[in-house]
Amino acid sequence: MSFVGIVANPASGKDIRRLVSHATVVNNNEKASIVRRVLLALHASGVRRVEIMPDHFGIGVRALKGLRDRPEVLASASLIDMPVMHTLADSLRAAQYLCDAGAGCIVVLGGDGTCRVVAKGAGKVPLLPISTGTNNVVPTFVEGTIAGFAAAHVALRSEAEREDLCWRHKRLLVQVNGETIDQALVEVALLTTRFTGARAVWETGTLRQVFVSRAQPVNIGLSAIVGMVRPVDLAYPGGAFVSTTEDGRKVMAPIAPGAVVPVGIGEIVEMEPGVSYPVEPLRPATLALDGEREITLNRSDEATVRLDLDGPWIVDVERALQWAVADGAFIV
């Protein structure tokens, strides 16, 4: 029987954007409470094996301690046996382990950055992202109990049936000097700065180019620069990119919660799947993936971005629960 994994990032929602904008703070005690509610719903739904990523704050440990009066739930849950490095690499390694071990679903607590990293290691295992980050385009504000019900119903089905309860997210593959080195789920941004620094992007002074797989006026983050002018639907088999310019038309974009700034843009160009689009040759530079600086480009580096339609599987919570109701899963 398949099982459910939980990856709760203790660093999500704690970047510098908390100081320069007005983002909601989801502290780690609340994350532990969310994990606890997920565990209770998973057990009530028949899941008898859950593995949780360990972390320096002890989100999983605290969640389990709060269930000491539910020994039957504790008996089915444990921490993944892995070293803790206190970086996003922990989330990547946990996702890789859960994929290799045969998990049927991974519940993710974090923002777009956490989802990006987990997706790199999860393979075809469906993700159920719960929003606890800053710019939450991929994850949603789903209550932990409901997330647990949906994750259980997905994990306890066959692999073929799971795909019917999920949808495929697009992704942007970043290539440097002909080699694919990383990916983003929502956007890739070119910044004319050498340093990754605090990593999170909260201003547009050095922004020169944005590639998006999806962009809606309801989104927060750099993808909103496109979304406020030419929305790119989640289900649309294409993407878009735009360059910034001081002489271009101005777009009022919410690049972070409460941070609405005018950005001058040029023509918005459609991206077709499988085509590599060049990153402007401005060097030195960095590429930000889903709102966080990740890749440094040196003078001789050539970079491209390619849209791929075969990104991670994301659980459709409402569809999964509708199927569960049709199956009589909640009749006792």
Give this prediction's pTM.
0.94
pLDDT in tens, 128-141: 999 998 778 999 99
Average pLDDT of the residues in 20-29 = 71
More confident position, 8 or 12 = 8
pLDDT exceeds cutoff 70 at 195: no
Where along the chain do the CATH 2.60.200 domains lie? 171-308
Distance, in Å, from the CA atom of 12 to the CA atom of 209, rounded to the nearest integer, reads 25
pLDDT of residue 16: 47
Say how many Å lie between the first and final Cα of the chain, rounded: 21
Mean pLDDT over the full length of the chain: 93
For the cut 60, the answer to whether the pLDDT of residue 17 exceeds it is no
Residue 224 predicted with pLDDT over 90: yes
The pLDDT value given to residue 22: 58
Enumerate residues 6+ apart whose C-beta is below 8 A from 105: 2, 4, 5, 125, 126, 127, 128, 151, 152, 154, 155, 162, 315
Confidence band (pLDDT; 50, 70, 90) for 18? very low
- Is the domain spanning 3-169+312-326 CATH 1.10.15? The answer is no
**Does the structure show a pLDDT above 50 at 247?**
yes
What was the pLDDT predicted at 133? 85
**CA nearest neighbour of 235 among 210, 211, 212, 213:** 213
What whole-number distance in Å separates Cα of residue 142 and Cα of residue 78? Answer: 23
* Least reliable range by pLDDT among 15-29, 54-68, 241-255, 263-277: 15-29
Residue 24 confidence (pLDDT): 67
Domain with CATH 3.40.50 in the chain: 3-169+312-326
Q: Please check whether the domain covering 171-308 is classified as CATH 2.60.200.
A: yes
Amino acid identity of residue 298, one-letter, is N
